[in-house]
Chain A
Amino acid sequence: MRLALREVGTAFSRAPGLGVLSVFTVAFSLFAVGLFGLVAYNTRLALERLEERVEIRAYVTEGTETDAVAAAVGDVRAFPEVASVTYVSPEDALKKARVEMTEFKDVFEPEFLPASMEVRLKPGMRDPETVRVVAKRLNGYPFVDDVRYGEEWVQKFYAVRRAATAAGIVLGIAFAFAAMIIIGSTIRTSVLARAREIGIMRLVGATDSFIRAPFLIDGVLKGLIGGSIAVALMWITRSVLTATVFAFQFFPVPILVLCVLIGGVIGLLGSAVSVGRQLKRV
Chain B
Amino acid sequence: MSSNQTIVKFTSVTKSWPRGSGGLQKVSFAAAKGEFVFLTGPSGAGKSTILKLCYMDELPNSGEVRVSGLSSINAKRTEISKLRRKLGIVFQDFRLLEDRTAWANVAFALEVTGTHSKAIPARVQKVLERVGLGPKMQSMPTELSGGEQQRVAIARALVNDPFVLLADEPTGNLDDRASRAVFQLLKDINTSGTAVMMATHDLDLVRTSGFRSLELNKGALVYDSAETPLPERER
User: Residues of A at under 8 Å CB distance from B?
Assistant: 3, 14, 196-197, 199-208, 210-211, 282
Contact = CB atoms under 8 A, between A and B. Distances in A.
Contacts of A3: 111-112
A197 B99 CA distance: 11
Interface of B: 55, 57, 77-78, 81-87, 89, 95, 97, 99, 108-109, 111-114, 156, 160
B113 A199 contact: no
Nearest to A203: B89
Contact of B81 (A14, A196, A206): A206
16 contacts: A3-B112, A197-B97, A200-B97, A203-B95, A204-B89, A204-B108, A204-B112, A205-B84, A205-B87, A205-B113, A206-B81, A206-B112, A207-B77, A207-B81, A210-B112, A211-B112
A207 B108 contact: no
Contact of B156 (A14, A196, A199, A204): A204
A76 to B, nearest CB: 69
Contacts of A199: 95
A204 B78 CA distance: 13
B111 A203 contact: no
A204 B84 contact: yes
Contacts of A197: 97
A208 B83 CA distance: 14
B99 A14 contact: yes
A202 B78 CA distance: 11
Which 7 residue pairs are nearest across A and B when measured between Cβ atoms?
A205-B85, A205-B84, A206-B112, A204-B109, A207-B81, A201-B112, A205-B81
B104 to A, nearest CB: 10
Interface of A is mostly: helix
B53 to A, nearest CB: 14
Contacts of B78: 207-208
A200 B97 CA distance: 8
B55 to A, nearest CB: 7
Contacts of A200: 95, 97, 108
A203 B51 CA distance: 12
Most buried by B among A196, A202, A208: A202
B155 to A, nearest CB: 12
Contact of B82 (A196, A205, A282): A205
B203 to A, nearest CB: 28
For A3, A196, A202, A207, which residue has the most chain B Cβ atoms within 10 angstroms?
A207
B165 to A, nearest CB: 13
Contacts of B108: 200, 204
B94 to A, nearest CB: 11
Nearest to B87: A205
A196 B97 contact: yes
